[in-house]
Amino acid sequence: MLLNFIIIDPNPIQRIQLLQLFKKINYLKLNGEFSNAVDALNYLKYNKVELIFLSAKLPVYSGFEFIEKLCDPNEIILMTEEPQDALRAYEIGLTDCIAPPFTFGRIEKAVDRVVYRVHNAFETKKEKSQIIEIKHNLTTEKIPASGIKWIEAMGDYVKIITLEKKYLVLSTMKAFMEKLPENQFLRIHKSFIINLNKVVNYTSSTVNVDGDDLPISRNRKKDFRQIISQI
């Protein structure tokens, strides 16, 4: 797992020393270094990182004021020598807090904690995406994405064909596609979204999904063949 990070510290000598230690961790990638919170906030408006090394003492905005102004949550390792800062970092749920003199062992431990948190967040999101919640016959049901064979457009509705039954749901194809796990489903026609894991074979005009032949549109053949060849 590669972690993109930035460092915000007003002390240029300390930044150099820290960057030398960071270079020893091969899954860290430096995206930028800043001496103040204002420049860092402007950068983060247009760029995403997984980790921020943040000094508690900064010009203009303090480290904690910077945190309050962040639009997106980030893993943050606070750098401070003040015990009250460390306590506050713990209270607001920051990833870790490290104090000078900085050592490679302590930094590596803090970064490992970030990796653990990021990995767990990814797995939780992945797990949730495998269950699709639908409203069918005035009830809400949860169905596993792995059991869906294909989705078919039916006017203002979509018909979901699963291994066990069929569901008719009020939705557009585009909106329903956004609910599905990435890289597992593909729209092969304006009227059909298929589960790529259920493909048995295909021809120039059809795709056989678990025994049923579905049409594939001419302008989607190339994308389909490129993706299916990688599965």
- pLDDT tens readout for residues 20-43: 999 999 999 999 999 999 999 999
Q: What is the pTM of this model?
A: 0.58
Nearest to 31 by CA among 10, 49, 54, 11: 49
- C-alpha count within 13 angstroms, C-beta hemisphere, residue 99: 8
Q: Which CATH architecture has domain 3-128?
A: 3-Layer(aba) Sandwich (3.40)
Report the alpha-carbon distance of residue 161 to residue 180 in Å, rounded: 14
The SS3 of residue 44 is helix
- Return the pLDDT at 187: 95
How high does pLDDT run on average in the chain? 92
**Residue 139, strand partner residues:** 136
Check the CA dihedral 85-90-95-99 and report its sign. positive
CATH code 2.40.50.1020 region(s) in the chain? 131-228
Q: Given 3-state DSSP classes, what are the helix, strand and coil percentages for the chain, each rounded to the nearest 5?
A: 35, 35, 30
Judged against a pLDDT cut of 90, whether residue 73 lies above it is answered with no
Report the alpha-carbon distance of residue 89 to residue 63 in Å, rounded: 10
Q: Which CATH architecture has domain 131-228?
A: Beta Barrel (2.40)
CATH code 3.40.50.2300 region(s) in the chain? 3-128
The answer for 106, left when phi > 0, alpha when psi is -120 to 50, beta otherwise, is alpha
